[in-house]
Structure 1
Amino acid sequence: MYNAKLAYKFFIGLYIFLLFTAEKLNAQIVIGSPNLGFSQACASDTFNNYSTTFVFSPASGLNASNQFTIELSDADGDFSNATSIFTSSPGTVTTSPATLNFSLPTTTAGENYRIRIKSSAPAATSSGSSVFAAYYKIQDSPFSINNLVSNGAYCSGGSYLLTIDNPGTGSNNSPLNYPSLTYKWYKETGPTTSVFVADGPTLTVGEPGTFFVETNYGTCTSNSFSNRVTISEVTTGNANAGISSSLGNPFCPANGATTLSTITGLTYQWYKDGNSIADATSQMYQTTESGTYSVQVDLGDCMAAGEIQLLSELFDASINVSETNTIEEGETLSVEVTTNANNPEFEWYLNDVVIANISEDNYEATQFGTYKIIVTETTGCIGSREFIFELEEAFDAFPDVEKIPNIISPNGDGINDTWMIPLIYTSGTNTEVMIMTNTGKVVVQTNDYLNNWPENDLNLNSINQVFYYVITTSNNETKKGSITVIK
């Protein structure tokens, strides 16, 4: 049986359901233009966190799955190829006004960026924010140009090319390692003022002045700038070819060789202490040694010359003995090391064998042989210096020999090299000593014999050569005999 009242209630309920569903299906929201919490965005690896606040209405129009996205325009404020820089999690932003945080991409660089807000459910897009300057300072430290040489020169009518070093010398962090960066060159007009000259990684200079370059971070302050280079025009004489040392001057040899660099030219020749260095014909020269280094640079129609007094930071040290020392058997030689090394260590060697249990800066040497001392600085500019000296038995020019020898062997071995006679005939006894060849030619005749014959090379032309001697004492006693010289 048909129930009219029941049918009426059903149709009323269906109408309300369909009306509610239609409102949900046709729901829309309006998103206001985002407000910025900053006037410019100068991001870096140490700071890259910014915020924006926006309103939307109605809040009830959001679906539970809705996400808000922040889009970044290009550097000209155009959203045609916008970049999404933040997206909220579904359903996390439900009240208005809302604040979202975001970070800038590392390629950001320009003065006219904008952001906008988009929602996903329902889909809606705000208008763009006001424009703002934004840069990500991917390189934010000083860098070098001209290989850190502080000057350059060109012949009259020519030009000089300044370039950003890549990679450069030492710890130079070249901005050329980051392809997205651009550069601006400036010429100094005063101690604290300058004028813009040109864009680009290089600059061709055709006028005298002091120039430098900065990474283009627009209105953002930055530490990404180069050293200054003073360029001069050569009309007469030689230009000054500056020289720089990559490890500084003084430099620490423990860090390896330092690179000497000079101005740009056509050809180069390096010198050390006034002497030409073989094959040192490039703009750079590496060395680990102190000294006076100079360079000649051919600029084409003129020349340039430069010089640097290169010093090593390696500590100073010295010992108080000579390279060759003599003592009598049983005596000692006191050796001391003087040094300004930081926390020095000392190693002592005798005939290339380490002397055990000796680590002080002094030693009492008693054994004959070749000694070596290695002094090492263990902190700061770590390095070592080496000293070598010899200890020999003292030569006795007047030994107490018993008999007059008749054989000598002057071969330089320190044994029987000269004719040594008893002390009663030597210097101070007023004894005449005469030595003759086998033909009677007198080669020595003295009343002050010093046990030193032969003093010169005898030019022996046979295995054995015979000489004759006559010794006459002050009381006219005479000794005669022969001396055979063995080659």
Structure 2
Amino acid sequence: MNPNKKNNLLIFVLTFMMLGINFISAQTLNKPTPADNPNIAGNSPWTAVCASADFNEYYVKFSWSPPLVNSDNTFILELSDANGSFASPTQLVSDNTKNTTFNFDFKFELPTIARGDGYKMRVRSTSPAKTSPVSDAFEMYYIDFKSSLLISPNGNGNIPPGGTIELCDGNSATLAVHNVPNPETYQYNWYRSGSPLAEKSHSITISQAGIYMVEVDYGTVCSGSANTLSNYIEITTGASLGIALNAPSKTALCSGETEVLEANIMGQGLSYTWFKNGTAITAPIVDAYTYTVDAAIVGFEGDYAVEIDGDGTCLERSASITMTNAGDFTVTRDNEPNIVILPNQTKTLTVSTSAPSPAYQWYKDNTAIVGETNSTLTANTIGVYYAEVTLSGGACTSATKNTETTTLVNPDSFEIITDYTTEYTDCVNTSVALEVSKINAVLSDGSKTDVTADLKSNFSYQWTKDGANVPSANGSSISLTNTNENGEYKVLATLDSFNSSSNALTVRLLTNETLTVSASGSVICNSNESIDIFTTTVLTGESYDWFRDGVNLNTASESLSATTPGTYQLIIQKNGCDLKSNEIIISPLDASLIALSTTNNEVVFPEGGSKIISASGAISYKWYDQNNVLISDTDTVSITQEGSYLVTATINNCEVSKSFTASFQDTFGIPNVITANGDGFNDQWVIPNTYTKDPNISVIIYNDKGEEVISQKQYQNNWPEATMKFPKQNMVFYYTIKNAKETLKKGTITVIR
């Protein structure tokens, strides 16, 4: 660099120091990576987490870069869900002792509910609040079941002799796990003759021959270590015997009747299993080719089938026969179970039924009411009522069913309950409506019956506020829209001789007006500056407070001079409520908001050409060359000469300055020959600045044995050093120039002594 350039750079640095510009970097949190367990000899970083009650100790490596975090900081290791989402992360471990340690390990235990292939981790700091990039996705399984699985037909626990089931062509069988608690909470890997199947549940329906096994699916890595592989069941296929059920004499039974179902194949020493609605209702029993359906058993109705098995035959299930209840019908009570009846009142009780030819008889207190043989009853006295419904025609004429009971009672008093008709919060709502929401009849034993639907419209009402009647408020509801109406409300309800007062509801409405504050700015440039915050609302005679970040500033001023960043708000007390203004956010100057379209504040362009540099993040800009001459006042500038440049950006009422340097691009190529003879000419391998200025570019030189001679970022054009010896003439070396993503140049260097 020539002397003029050095002097200009020094002037530029001194200018920045006089302007008080600081270059402050922020902490960088790196993503966590697996680490080896120091407590296990010869260990290496894990690739999957296979935890259990026997072992659950894992480590991750974490690093971060200065500046230092605050002294009250805590680093927290968090785990995503099985799909990699951090919407609700799980905290694995925290550490507040590593605030000066830039590279350390977290030790953690896997939660016992973790099962999946897509878990990720991240690290979060609390002071300042930052979050690292997320880790790669990993398999993580807590292995809580580690025994061999057992499978059997339908999961009934009866493993067939020899582990073999012979199916008839076209039939199927269901295999299921039977020794796992809550088997449906796991996923499984099913295999047929060693090949994996798509089914993942604890049961599988099959019709194809093969050897079937299953294991708990703990992922590709952890499944093998769990050793849950089951017993095998071999499925073979054979010819059908044509099992079927003989047609029964009847399929619709009356209560107390029975019907024997019989298989069409018998006397061959086969095992028979009977099914209802697809579920086995008997164990396999030799020669049990009949089954008795008993209509006296509640719920006997359903689809019945039989399955046969035995030596020399295949497992085969018949088509089903549907058995129904001929005497089945429904009766429904069409009124509430408890009805309050006032003196001289009547209530109509009704019943409905699905019976084709029903006969009715009403009862009161278990005694038949003479002449009441219709589906309705008009009742005027207290008591317990029900109706008996009998079939008077059809196959089952003796079938009888009773309705549920209805109790008629007289009340001792009424309980009136009021509530807000919509969501309500004190000092938030500007209007509200109150209503009678529920009326309970209170009986002599203290029990209560909801009679709202029956009697709400029968009562007369009078609303009161703070004990005084509200004029014209005589309905079951009242609407309030004014802060003058704030107070305690009750309602007096009257019906015949009953007078009941409700619970009390407090109403505190917020005044329906807007309080607005404004500010003379939003950014504080330095500690000597202040920003005025004010309101157009007249505060004289009002009770009010100014707040910063929720803390009362205890000032009686009608405007505020803010010198500290924060969130400001004005609150006026109105009718017992806080009327809150909008929030004014005053921020400190953030120089990082101003960005230049340069890399590392350096510009390289061909000599004789130009380079357009743009700035963003501010309102106005002024660009200066190294002689402090204004060269542009827009958001862009055209650079045509080498040197140091400065841009001053105005954001709100503050100025921020940023600098960059410009240099011409090298026009020479990368040499492949140097003469290291100490004559001062071509003694060292010098490459273009394009590859030496960028801190992300590495230069690596190898000898003819492939050994690394030098590896350097921001190569200093200093190889070979003067002290290096070359034992042979015309030695050949190899170089690679690369950045983090790709190789930029490769070639050879011949050294001539």
Q: Same fold (TM over 0.5)?
A: no
| TM-score, L = length of structure 2 | 0.28
| TM-score, L = length of structure 1 | 0.42
Highest relative contact order (Cα 8 Å, sep 6+), 1 or 2?
A: 1
